[in-house]
Chains A and B, each alone.
Chain A
Amino acid sequence: MAELSKNDEPQVATPNVSDVEIVDAHSDEEAVRAIEAPVERGEPILQVRGLKKHFPLTQGILFKKQIGAVKAVDGISFDLYQGETLGIVGESGCGKSTVAKLLMNLERATAGEIFYKGQDITKLSGRALKAVRRNIQMVFQDPYTSLNPRMTVGDIIGEPFDIHSEVAPKGDRRRRVQELLDVVGLNPEYINRYPHQFSGGQRQRIGIARGLALNPEIIICDEPVSALDVSVQAQVINLMERLQNEFNLSYLFIAHDLSIVRHISDRVGVMYLGAMAEIGTDEQIYDHPTHPYTQALLSAVPVPDPEAREHRDRIILTGDVPSPANPPSGCRFRTRCWKAQDKCAQEIPLLAVPERFKGEDTPAAHESACHFAEERDVVHAA
C-alpha cells in the first residue's frame, strides 16, 4: 500500500518521504527505544506523508460490492514540530477529524505514512505501538459524551494507568489523579464526583487531565472549545497554553473557529475536501493568504467590530462543498472559485511555494496549492 502511494499522482511536491529521517528498527526493542528518545525543541516530532483515508461505499447486502469511496483524506503531508501548535482549519466534511483519528491510529490509513520520531506508526504493532499510543493523546470536542457518566472523575482520569501501569504504580494513582486535577484548575477533592456534577468547562478540564495523565508529548485536540460558552472558552484556551509551556507539549489543534486557531497556533494548515490548500505560519496564513479558499474562509468570519464590517473585503462563496465521494477533477476548489480557468480542471495544483514568490523574502512565500496564487488581505479593514 505504502509503495503504491509514493508512485501515485504527484499531489504533494514537498515535503517528501525522502526528507524524513527514518529510524531502521529491526525489533520491537529498537523501535521502543527510538520512540522513547527525546526530541529537541523545534525538531519535527510527527511527519505525515501522502496520508489517505478512503471509506468504501458498498452496494448489496449479502454480496457487498464496492461502488466507490468517500475520499475523506486524500493525500496530505505536514510536519508537527516539538513544542509547537499546528492549527488545522476547514469546514465540516473537509477531513480534519479523520486526520485526527488517523494520527491516533484509530483508523487504518488507506495509504501514506505517519512518522513519529522516524517510526512509521501505521506499520507498528505490539509494544512499539503501545509506546506510541502513550505519547500521543487526544482531547475530544464534546465534554458531555466523551466522559462515561457512570465513572467517577478519579476513575476517568486514572483509567489510562490501567493500561500503562508503568507510569503510576497502583498505590500512587490517587495521588497522581489529584495532582492532575490540581494542574487543570479543579479542586482535588472532587475526585469522587461524577461528570454530571460539573459544568461544560469543568468537564473539558477533566478531559484535558485525562489526556495529560500519561505525560504524552503530543496532544491532538479536536474542536476542544467549540461546545463551550465564550467566557469559559477563554479560560480553557489559557489553560491549554499554560500546560503546553509547563509540560513542553506539541498540539495539533483542530477547529473551525479561525480566530481561536490564530490565537493558539504557531502554524496553520487550511484543509478543503480532504486536501491541504495552504499551510504556513499564522502571520502568513491570516495576513498574507494566497489561496482563494483561505481568502474566502477568512473573509466570511464575522468580526466583532461593526466599524470594520463596511471596510472589509468580503468574498461570499456560492454553492456548497462538493461530495468527497466524487471530488472535482484538477483543483478541488475550482467549482466554487472565482479565479477558475481550464487549467484548474485539468491539473492538480501542488502544495508548494508558488513560482512567482519563490526565493523572495516575503510572507506570501509559503506553501499554497493554487495555480493562480496571489496575495489578498481580507482580514484587515482597508
Chain B
Amino acid sequence: MTIIEDTSPAPAGADSFSGPLLDVRDLHVEFRTRDGVVRAVNGVNYDVSAGETLAVLGESGSGKSVTAQAIMGILDMPPAVIPQGEIRFRGQDMLKMSADERRRIRGSRIAMIFQDALSSLNPVLSVGYQLGEMFRVHKGMSKKEAKAKSIELMDRVKIPAAAARVNDYPHQFSGGMRQRIMIAMALALEPDLIIADEPTTALDVTVQAQVMDLLAELQREYNMGLILITHDLGVVADVADKIAVMYAGRIVEQAPVHELYKRPAHPYTRGLLDSIPRLDQKGQELYAIKGLPPNLLRIPTGCAFNPRCPKAQDICTQQVPDLLSVTERDGGELPGRSSACHFWKETLHG
C-alpha cells in the first residue's frame, strides 16, 4: 500500500467553488458480459449540495448502487465501461482525473458506507487498527496518534466504553455497533460527501432508528452532503431532503421529499407508494405493480416501465420520455420537481 502525504486534500480552486458539491451529468455505465451488454445506468443526472441529503430510491437492478460505485471510482473496469457522462466534484470532472488524483479524493473527500458491515470489515484486524489505518495512510500519523484518534472517533459515533473496546475484533460487536464503526471510518477524514448504500437494511428496526439518527446528526454537525441509497420508502421519508427514483438505470422522478409522497408525478412512484401496506390502518387488498422489473440485457423500447404501466399508450413504447420539469395545473412552478413520463400531467394532477 502506498502512503500518500495528504496535507492539502481539497483540489486546487475548491474554496472558490460555489455550485453543488457533486454533480452527476448524463452518466452511463455498461457491463460488457458474455451474454451481451448490460446497460445498468442509462443517463443519470443528479446533484447534491453541502448539508443536503439526496435519497436514491430503487429496486434491485435499478442501477442505484452502480451509480454510487461509479462516483466512488470502485467499479471493476472491465467488465464495467463508462461510455459517456460526467461526475463533477466541486466543479471538476472526476472521470478525467488521473488515478492518483482520484485516490486522493476517495476516502478523504468522498467516503462510502456499505450495507453489510460484517463483510466490509476485516475479521482478523481489530477495529481500532482498521479505523487508525485511515489516519496512518492518509495523514501519515504514527500508530499511537492513530489509535488515540480512533478512540475519539468511536466516541463520536457513541460506541460505549470506546477506549476499552478499541482492540476488539469485528465479531465482538453487534450489528448496530459494527455499522457505527463503518460510519466512524467514513467520517474519519471529515469528508465533504458521504455515500451510504443501504446503511440500515441489515439492522433491526429499533437499531435502524438509532443508526439513522446518528447519521443525520453527524451530517448536520459536519455540514456534509449525503447520498442515501435505499429501497425503503419509510427510511427515505424520515431523513431525505430530496428523492430521485430510479428504474432500469434511469431517474424516472425527482422531487423534494414532502412533494413526492403527497403527489407522485410518475406511475412507477405511485405504484410503489400504493403497494406498501400501512402501519396505522388495516388496508384492503394491496395494489401490486404487475409484471417484473426488466432484464437489463433487454430493456423495453421507449419508456422502460411501459410493459408494467397502467397508463401506457402507443407513444410509451416508441419514445423514451425525457426527465423534464413538471408544473402546477395553472403553469405555476414546482421547484426541484421533474418526471420522465409522457403522461406526467395526468399522473400529477389526477
Contact = CB atoms under 8 A, between A and B. Distances in A.
B231 interface: yes
Closest 8 CB pairs of A and B: A302-B234, A263-B277, A234-B275, A91-B204, A304-B233, A234-B288, A229-B59, A231-B289
A287 B209 CA distance: 21
Contacts of B237: 302-306, 309
A296 B275 contact: no
A184 to B, nearest CB: 14
B257 interface: yes
Interface string B167-201: 00000001111000000000000000000000000
Contact of B282 (A263, A300, A317): A263
Interface in B198-224: 204-210, 212-213
B238 A309 contact: yes
13 contacts: A92-B175, A199-B292, A237-B286, A238-B286, A283-B282, A296-B206, A302-B235, A302-B237, A303-B234, A307-B258, A309-B238, A316-B210, A320-B177
Contacts of B205: 91, 256, 258, 297, 300-302
Contacts of B262: 307
B272 A230 contact: yes
A304 B261 contact: yes
Contacts of A379: 279-280
Contacts of A307: 258, 261-262
Main secondary structure of the interface of A (DSSP, over half): helix
B286 A234 contact: yes
Interface in B248-298: 257-258, 261-262, 271-273, 275-280, 282-283, 285-290, 292-293
Interface size of B as a range: 35 or more
A300 B208 contact: yes
B60 interface: yes
A234 B289 contact: yes
Nearest to A309: B238
Interface size of A as a range: 35 or more
Given A302-B235, A304-B261, A231 B280 contact: no
B182 to A, nearest CB: 16
B232 interface: yes
Contact of A316 (B177, B213, B236, B272): B213
Given A301-B279, A316-B213, 11 more contacts: A230-B272, A230-B276, A231-B275, A232-B292, A234-B289, A260-B277, A262-B277, A287-B280, A302-B209, A303-B234, A304-B234
Contacts of B293: 199, 229, 231-232
B249 to A, nearest CB: 15
A258 B204 CA distance: 11
Nearest to B202: A92
A81 B204 CA distance: 29
A282 B282 CA distance: 8
Contacts of B213: 316
Contacts of B207: 91, 320
Given A286-B279, A306-B258, A231 B206 contact: no
A306 B261 contact: yes
Nearest to B284: A263
Contacts of B276: 230, 234, 259, 304
B318 to A, nearest CB: 24
Main secondary structure of the interface of B (DSSP, over half): helix
A364 to B, nearest CB: 17
Contacts of B272: 230-231
Given A302-B235, A302-B238, A320-B174, A92 B292 contact: no
Interface string A75-110: 000000000000000011000000000000000000
B177 A263 contact: no
Interface of A: 91-92, 199, 201-202, 229-235, 237-238, 241, 256, 258-260, 262-264, 282-283, 286-287, 296-298, 300-307, 309, 314, 316-318, 320-321, 379-380
Nearest to B60: A229
A297 B279 contact: no
Nearest to A312: B280
Nearest to B212: A302
Nearest to A320: B174
Nearest to A319: B160
Contacts of B289: 231, 234-235
A201 B61 CA distance: 14
B233 to A, nearest CB: 4
A298 B279 contact: yes
Contacts of A286: 279-280
A318 B176 CA distance: 11
A317 B206 contact: yes
Nearest to B204: A91
Question: Most chain-B CB neighbours within 10 Å: which of A296, A303, A307?
Answer: A303
Contacts of B206: 91, 296-297, 300, 316-317
A229 B212 CA distance: 21
Question: Most chain-A CB neighbours within 10 Å: which of B205, B234, B286?
Answer: B205
Question: Most chain-B CB neighbours within 10 Å: which of A230, A231, A297, A305?
Answer: A231
Given A92-B204, A300-B209, A306 B280 contact: no
A336 to B, nearest CB: 8
B149 to A, nearest CB: 25
A32 B210 CA distance: 51
B288 A231 contact: yes
Question: Most chain-B CB neighbours within 10 Å: which of A91, A234, A262, A379?
Answer: A234
Contacts of B60: 229
Contacts of A259: 234, 276-279
B277 A238 contact: no
B280 A303 contact: yes
A231 B279 contact: no
Given A91-B204, A317-B206, A263 B286 contact: yes
A254 B168 CA distance: 34
Contact of A230 (B204, B231, B238): B231
B81 to A, nearest CB: 26
Question: Most chain-A CB neighbours within 10 Å: which of B207, B238, B279, B288?
Answer: B279
Contacts of B283: 263
Nearest to B58: A229
A302 B237 CA distance: 7
Contacts of B231: 229-230
A300 B232 CA distance: 14
Contacts of A321: 204
